[in-house]
Amino acid sequence: MLANALLALTRVPIGLAALPILVASLTSASGDTNALAQDKILSPRDFHGIQTQVETLRGKKFLHPVPVYLISKKELRAISERDLEKDFPGPKLQAHEALLAWLDFIAPHTSLKTVYGDYSVDQIAGLYDSDAKEMDIPASLSGSAGSGKRSAEKKLEAISSQIEDSTLAHEFTHALEDQYWAIDDPKDHDFKASTDRGTAHSFICEGSATRQMIEVLPAQLSRGSPDSYFAVWNLIHSASGELALNCVLKSSWKKSDALVSGVPETLARSEAMPYSFGYSFCAGAMRKWGLDGLDYVYGHPPASSAQVMHPEKYWVWRQCPVQISLPDNLAGGWTQISLDCVGEADLAVLLGCQIGNLNRGLELARGWDGDHVALYEQTGGHRLVVWASSWASTNAAGRFAGAWLKERQLAHQAVVTSNRNGRIDWESPDGRVGFIRRAGRHLVVLETDQREQMHEAEALVREVTFTEPAEKSVRAAANSPLRRFNPVWSWQKDGDFTVSRSLGGLLSRHDRNSIGKADTLLLGGLAERRRTDSFHKWQVGAGLVAKHESEARRGTTKTTWLPWGVLASHSSARLPQTPDRVITRTSVLWGIAATATATEPGTRSIHILPFGLLFRRATGPGESSTYILGTGPSHHGSTARFRVLGIPLWSSRPGARASCPREQPVQTRGQDARAPRGGDGLVPAFPTSVLKTFVALVRS
């Protein structure tokens, strides 16, 4: 929550390397849009087709229309400023900037309005405004070429137009989900809560939209071909495809492409993080429970970014953060002017950027269990920061204490002056003094620019309170330790999740919750089965023997025998762009022995051996063909043809006498070529010299 100042404004940042971006043609209107007569005009484009794809893939219908506007750079900056002012009205924004600067998240005197305004103009290709319930597209993207192009326009030129609709699908997914689960949830802005729930919510929103954006690619790239559609669909949903997408997206926030000129590194990486961990979390939920699982996540939102970054803390046995309370006023005339929660995600970014190792930052932030940080001010202008945090273990608390001391030493040349009784004191050349007080899993960091205040530091620390979440006591009452940790047969319950295991889950495991049911035998190595109201998945031999997955809400089905469907496979899907059209494909021996495809309503085809070498039959509206060893007739509209070994011998049209093509006289100098006789209906399929050669070859 600390750095995600634009939580209510969902968007697609072009700087994120793993995400496709909006192509200029999407926003083009008549005339030069760089010189808009207005700062905001209604887009002339019809977006019904994209909305239909989103509805099909998300399994829900739009309840209200979503207007799409072209906006100027000025309006884009205004939207960014309004969003900041909503969270930090009046002097609160300046106080929040001071808190971020004290923690070294931004440089002193940094203006968040300027930074986020520059970020928006440079990076945002399209956004869904959850306040106005509309989509806004920066109109300058469609301007003419020139040396003054912003980086978004330059990057647009290198992106294929085939992915433009998939990017719009990202934003329309936000709009659709906002109509069922409010994106702008008041609970996300509760600064009294010692958790970054708002950050977690943004992770889920961006993760879900990014997954849906990828799901539209098969329809966009296949152009209606069943073989092409299933080839792309299978690639995306294969184990290797899922792994590749997850690896690329999960590391994208650490790439140089996430950085934006003029924007602090911590803020730029923090803005990119939701697309990484959010995608991984949402894709995992859909892989296990389908769209019903994703709906459940929206109905039961994660309490912290830690639950999204570590899904095991959300599913089955939730780890809710400790509630930490900081007083509004402290002894000595200190008044609280800013209050926030850092959270595991932003803490990982902060530490990773400061020590120059983002992976190490993730390790140091792991184990976060709640935090609260407040900036206090005295009448004379002196300031004091109190940062209290709770950790999952004493080791995790110790790691963070050492990491924060190192950060102070690197950023402020702090020197340790005392280290005893669980307290480490330091002082810096810039006049700051501070300490870390550690008591088991709890830490309190206090730092001020008034040295005299350190005499009362211990009294100030005692005003900080740590309260275990109520869920822990409820869960403890419902679970007997003997039954939960029984090695032979165990049972546990957390909310609506019930899990039973035999031999610690090695032999069997049974999950029951409000989403559905899941059963595994031998860790899934023998068999696994999952079922919800619309999602059904089972596999035998870890999917190596047989595997099936179907989802009624999306109209998809896939069954394979042996790895990757080597023995046989069957797939069917409802096309996102035309939901009333279903395509199917069945293959034997990976398509080498036989394949059958069908489009309803449309064409059907059967191939035996590759390319139908042994037998091939295709039927469709107004056309049909049957070939055995490449020999047979075909009809297309009013034209009939006959092939022998794949080579066309003749063709005919209605009202014309079908005949083999006759040899045409050779044209000589001074002689006109003889035209075919009128009314004989002959259409030479190929030169007769080739026909003679082919006939001689057949006779031999």
Percent of the chain with pLDDT over 90: 57
Between 216 and 18, whose confidence is greater? Answer: 216
CB 98 within 8 A of CB 383: yes
| Position 168 confidence tier, pLDDT thresholds 50, 70, 90 | confident
562-575 pLDDT tens trace: 998 899 999 999 98
Domain ranges of the chain: 9-289, 323-470, 525-699
Between 167 and 263, whose confidence is greater? Answer: 263
Q: Which range has the worst mean pLDDT, 542-551, 613-622, 686-695?
A: 686-695
| Position 133 confidence tier, pLDDT thresholds 50, 70, 90 | very high
Tell whether the model's pLDDT for residue 14 goes beyond 50: no
> Coil, strand, or helix at residue 136?
strand
Tell whether the model's pLDDT for residue 158 goes beyond 70: no
Q: Which CATH superfamily is domain 323-470 in?
A: MucB/RseB, C-terminal domain (3.30.200.100)
Q: In this structure, what token pair is assigned to residue 99?
A: 């808190």
> Coil, strand, or helix at residue 349?
helix
Q: What angle do CA 315, 320, 324 make, to 5 degrees?
A: 165
Residue 399: in which H helix or E strand, if any? helix 394-412
Distance between CA atoms of residues 166 and 18, nearest Å: 13
- What is the per-residue pLDDT for 654? 64
Q: Where are the beta strands (DSSP E) in 363-513?
A: 368-377, 383-391, 415-420, 423-427, 433-439, 442-448, 465-467, 489-494, 497-502, 508-512
Distance between CA atoms of residues 249 and 203, nearest Å: 13
- What is the per-residue pLDDT for 2? 61
Between 118 and 686, whose confidence is greater? Answer: 118
- What is the per-residue pLDDT for 697? 33
Q: In this structure, what token pair is assigned to residue 79?
A: 């939207």
Mean pLDDT of 384-407: 96
600-626 pLDDT tens trace: 777 889 999 998 889 999 998 888 999
Instruction: Give the type of residue at 129.
Output: D
| Position 580 confidence tier, pLDDT thresholds 50, 70, 90 | confident
Distance between CA atoms of residues 447 and 386, nearest Å: 7
Percent of the chain with pLDDT over 70: 84
- What is the per-residue pLDDT for 148? 45
Q: Phi and psi at residue 190, in whole multiples of 5°?
A: -85, 95
Predicted model pTM: 0.84
26-45 pLDDT tens trace: 333 333 334 445 788 998 88
Between 514 and 379, whose confidence is greater? Answer: 514
